[in-house]
Amino acid sequence: SQTIHQWPATLVQPVGSPLSLECTVEGTSNPNLYWYRQAAGRGLQLLFYSVGIGQISSEVPQNLSASRPQDRQFILSSKKLLLSDSGFYLCAWSELAALTDTQYFGPGTRLTVL
Amino acid sequence: GQQLNQSPQSMFIQEGEDVSMNCTSSSIFNTWLWYKQDPGEGPVLLIALYKAGELTSNGRLTAQFGITRKDSFLNISASIPSDVGIYFCAGSTGANSKLTFGKGITLSVRP
């Protein structure tokens, strides 16, 4: 069966510091991968998605970037964090070749920027 | 752009009651999904619907894909305290397209 992991689970970072969040998927090949941000008490905002290694699409211009160095690894980064980057970051995957678009979410990373 | 409407933002029910949640759109979707999110965790898929008119159950949960393909509803029967959480609907227009999410409904269950 497929599993999705996110690391770390929680993170507290000062403003201006760099960021690296990792997402890995097991049990599937060539998945679509997604990064979402969820602000407190609000819905899900799609940040980036990837249909393959090195292929990244950005949804919202922002202080963040994403990379996919391996088939089942998705990285969310920032060179200098802003206060507004605080939130709950969720990684998700879906099957590339499926006729449906069901996405499965990871456990999330809680980021607090102080 | 496409939007999914979920209202009200919060619902409060008594343990044992049934509850129904709607999700509506001005656009047609080909897939409807319902997720539940517990505090501090990622959303978990509850039910996926792929065909207009489809009615699918998962334990005490039942969801339907509206005939017009512009709406879906989720019913929870005989609610229990662990039903507390945020319920999101999501829709897709086709294979490998992005999901559109509703803003979620926070469900509270009074013992």
Query: DSSP letters along A21-66, please?
Result: EEEEEES-SSEEEEEEEE-TTS-EEEEEEEEETTEEEESS-SS-EE
Helix (H, G, I), strand (E, B) or coil at A83: helix
Shortest CB distance from A98 goes to which of B44, B88, B95? B95
Pairwise CA distance, residues B42 & B85, whole Å: 11
**A32: closest chain B residue by CA:** B96
CB contact under 8 A, A105 and B103: no
**Parallel, antiparallel, or unpaired for β B10-14 and B105-110?**
parallel
Q: What is the pLDDT of residue B94?
A: 76
What radius of gyration, in Å, describes the C-alpha atoms of chain A? 13
Which string of DSSP letters, residue by residue, matches B28-93?
--SEEEEEEE-TTS--EEEEEE-STT-EEEETTEEEEE-TTSSEEEEEE-S--GGG-EEEEEEEES
Pairwise CA distance, residues A38 & A23, whole Å: 16
Look up tokens 């999501």; give the residue: B90
Is the confidence at residue A41, as pLDDT, over 90? no
The 10s digit of each residue's pLDDT in B39-79 is 999 999 999 999 999 999 999 999 999 999 999 999 999 99
CB contact under 8 A, A44 and B101: yes
CB contact under 8 A, B33 and A102: yes
Q: What is the pLDDT of residue A62?
A: 79
Q: Which residues of B touch A112 (CB under 8 A)?
A: none
CB contact under 8 A, B40 and A110: yes
Is the confidence at residue A100, as pLDDT, over 70? no
Q: Which residues of A touch B90 (CB under 8 A)?
A: 103
Report the mean per-residue pLDDT for chain A: 92
Q: What is the pLDDT of residue A43?
A: 85
The 10s digit of each residue's pLDDT in B8-46 is 899 999 999 999 999 999 999 999 999 999 999 999 999
* Preceding amide of A18 cis, omega within 30: no
Smallest Cα distance from A1 to chain B, Å: 15
Over residues A95-104, the mean pLDDT reads 77
**pLDDT range class, residue A98, cuts 50, 70, 90:** low
